[in-house]
């Protein structure tokens, strides 16, 4: 293996370890020290690959985006209900996403670019999927481009309410209610 490939392998191994630590101990428990220990590196060795906790967490979220990705041509709005159901079963990564999203809106935060670009891409993908399914207008009269930011907003906003109070907020049922507002036939 070339040095470059070895370094990429190592990075991938660290990201997987971080995901495990997040799932077991949550966002706060996912310290660089805990991740370093799991992959048998010193903290100094880990910092060589990821200079900050934020950089490592962004890498984890980028990796999740890869795993969650559906080819643009295959994308359908009703797949989102499956995604929200699935998210309700993995609070660790959703907590990490939500905490980092919160921090990212502050000045000069290292995750700001990731989230800004992610949202631009997600809004575009959703608008395309809505257009393929409904044409220029949804049953409720909105255009796909005006519906996309609302879809994203509801998913993110419900995650906060659910993470804070999982007994009171049924994230999956609430998201289905929203899709019904859009005119989707939902089961």
Residue 18 interacts with its own copies (CB under 8 A): yes or no = no
The binder of its own copies chosen from 77, 101, 126, 130 (CB under 8 A): 101
Residue 134 interacts with its own copies (CB under 8 A): yes or no = no
Which contacts qualify for 60-65: CB closer than 8 Å, 24 or more apart?
60/15, 60/18, 60/19, 60/22, 60/93, 60/96, 61/93, 61/96, 61/97, 61/100, 61/114, 62/114, 63/12, 63/15, 63/19, 64/19, 64/93, 64/97, 65/118
Residue 136 interacts with its own copies (CB under 8 A): yes or no = no
Closest contact distance (angstroms) between CB of 123 and its own copies is: 8
In the chain, how long is the greatest CA-to-CA distance? 57
Yes or no: say if 63 and 78 are a contact pair by the CB < 8 Å rule: no
Q: Which two tokens stand for residue 54?
A: 């934020």
Give CA–CA dist 80/129, Å, rounded: 11
- Interior CA angle at 152 toward 106 and 124, to 5°? 100
Residue 120 interacts with its own copies (CB under 8 A): yes or no = yes
Residue 155 interacts with its own copies (CB under 8 A): yes or no = yes
Of 2-10, 64-72, 81-89, 150-158, which part binds its own copies (CB under 8 A)?
150-158
Of 16-24, 40-48, 75-83, 96-104, which part binds its own copies (CB under 8 A)?
96-104
State which of positions 55-74 bind its own copies (CB under 8 A): none
Please report how many Cα atoms fall inside a 13 Å half-sphere around the Cα of residue 105, on the Cβ side. Answer: 6
Of 2-10, 51-59, 74-82, 104-112, which part binds its own copies (CB under 8 A)?
104-112
Q: Which residue lies nearer to its own copies by CB, 50 or 115?
A: 115
Residue 154 interacts with its own copies (CB under 8 A): yes or no = yes
Judged by the rule CB under 8 A, the positions of this chain that interact with its own copies are 26-29, 95, 98-108, 112, 115-116, 119-120, 123, 140-142, 146-147, 149-150, 152-158, 160-161, 163-165, 168-169, 173-174, 177-178, 180-182
């Amino acid at each position: 293996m070339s040095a470059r490939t070895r370094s990429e392998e190592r990075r991938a191994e660290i990201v997987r370890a971080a995901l495990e630590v997040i799932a077991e101990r949550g966002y706060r428990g996912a310290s660089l020290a805990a991740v370093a220990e799991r992959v048998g590196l010193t903290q100094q060795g880990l910092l060589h690959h990821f200079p900050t906790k934020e950089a490592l967490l962004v890498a984890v979220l980028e990796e999740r985006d890869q795993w969650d990705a559906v080819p643009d041509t295959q994308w359908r709005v009703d797949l989102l209900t499956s995604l929200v159901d699935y998210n309700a079963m993995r609070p660790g990564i959703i907590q990490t996403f939500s905490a980092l999203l919160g921090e990212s809106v502050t000045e000069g935060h290292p995750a700001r670019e990731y989230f800004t670009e992610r949202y631009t891409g997600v809004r575009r993908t959703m608008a395309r999927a809505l257009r393929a399914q409904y044409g220029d207008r949804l049953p409720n009269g909105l255009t796909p481009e005006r519906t996309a930011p609302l879809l994203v907003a509801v998913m993110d906003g419900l995650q906060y309410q659910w993470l804070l109070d999982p007994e009171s907020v049924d994230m999956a049922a609430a998201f289905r209610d929203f899709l019904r507002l859009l005119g989707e036939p939902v089961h």
